[in-house]
Chains A and B, each alone.
Chain A
Amino acid sequence: MSRKRWSPCREPVQPAETTNPTKVMTPDQRVRYKTLFMVLLMVVSANLGDLMLKRGMVQIGAVEMSPSGLWRALMSTAHNGTIWMGIFFLIGFTFCYMTAVSWADYSYVMPAGAFGYAVQTFLAVVILHEAVSGRRWFGVVLIVVGVLLVGQTHPVTTSPKAVSS
């Protein structure tokens, strides 16, 4: 069994008569769903990473702006488990981003990632019970509608052949 064998068809072709339309996903839909799933992972990883870094830095305390202060802060961050958790999630975010742009358009993934700002606002209200201004809610609505609009476009508009290796 060789995986490298060239095949003219990327998708298994099924006769139309025997296909149940509710179970078939077009290649475009498949890319759309896996990209949106990856964007969701990106948003969760980035938010958790930021939260962990913030908690870690609060545990360390204010950084003194002198060579010895900066060195102490560096040593403290290197020995702080919460900071390492934050770094782990941010590496996860980068990995998800790299994976998403390996198959989908940059102009599709980039605006979809802004959904994170909407999630942050919801979390601020639900978990931290923060008061959120009307203008910020309006911003959230614009982001959600914008992401929905981008999400309806074709996720891939370039051919992989356009990029030569």
Chain B
Amino acid sequence: MIRVVLMLAFFIFCSTSGEIALTYGMKMVGEPASFRPAALLRFLSKALRNGWVWTALPLLAGSFYSLLVLLSWAPLSVVIPATAFNYVVGTLGAKYILNEHVSKKRWMGVAMVCLGVALVLING
């Protein structure tokens, strides 16, 4: 049981920190100047030269593999709600690490999405 809890914590940590690192890096890169191929290539090459984007990649790979391990260790009814809980942890990370303003309406939306994803995946 304890190894499942530890792996769940590892999965949520990797997934949330990976996405937050990616967002932080992309905010540094800035948005593409236009959607012309040359501008998109410049945007991509700038992103690939950003350290935070490269920090995000192993974390996201870690979250993917820890999810696979979790699925082999624990029943779906345990793993899926934890996956959906990622939306809440991610929003907390956005608020406290990326300093985004999360209004009550956004919190309500996130909570509904979290519950909805759990219901869809469990009944999938």
Q: What residue of chain B has the Cβ atom nearest to residue A149's Cβ?
A: B109
- A81 close to B (CB within 8 Å): no
**Docked-complex contact B32 and A111, CB < 8 angstroms:** no
CA distance A143 to B111 in the complex (A): 9
Binary interface profile of B, 36-47, with partner A (CB < 8 Å = 1, else 0)? 000000011001
- Quote the shortest CB–CB distance from A162 to chain B (angstroms): 6
Chain B residues closer than 8 Å to A146, beta-carbon distance: 108-114, 116
A-contact bits for B73-111, CB 8 A (1 contact / 0 none): 000000000000001001101110011111101101111
* Contact, CB under 8 Å: B28 / A163: yes
Query: For the complex, would chain A's binding face be called helix, strand, loop or mixed by DSSP majority?
Result: helix
A interface, size bucket: 35 or more
Closest residue to B106 on the A side, CB-wise?
Answer: A153
> What residue of chain A has the Cβ atom nearest to residue B57's Cβ?
A94
**Minimum CB distance partner of A138 in chain B:** B119
Instruction: Select from chain B the residue with minimum beta-carbon distance to A115.
Output: B113
Q: Interface size on B (CB < 8 Å)?
A: 48
Q: Give complex CA distance A160, B98 in Å.
A: 11
Nearest neighbor of B29 in chain A, beta-carbon distance: A102
Say yes or no: B110 contacts A99, CB within 8 Å: no
Contacting pair B116 A143 (CB below 8 A): yes
CB–CB A114/B113 < 8 A: yes
Query: A147: CB under 8 A from chain B?
Result: yes
Contact B91 A110 (CB under 8 A): yes
A-B contact list, 6 entries, CB within 8 Å: A120-B120, A136-B124, A139-B123, A145-B109, A158-B27, A158-B98
Query: Whole-angstrom distance from the CB of A63 to the nearest CB of chain B?
Result: 13
Write out, one digit per residue, whether chain A residues 69-95 have a CB within 8 A of any chain B CB (1) or not (0): 000000000000000000000000001
A106: which of B19, B44, B112, B115 is its contact (CB, 8 Å)? B19
Other than the known A150-B110, A153-B103, what 6 A-B pairs have Cβ atoms closer than 8 Å? A107-B110, A114-B116, A151-B109, A152-B105, A158-B98, A158-B101
- Cα(A145)–Cα(B47), bound, Å: 33
**CA of A71 to CA of B28, assembled, Å:** 40
Residue contact A142 to B27, C-beta cutoff 8 Å:
no
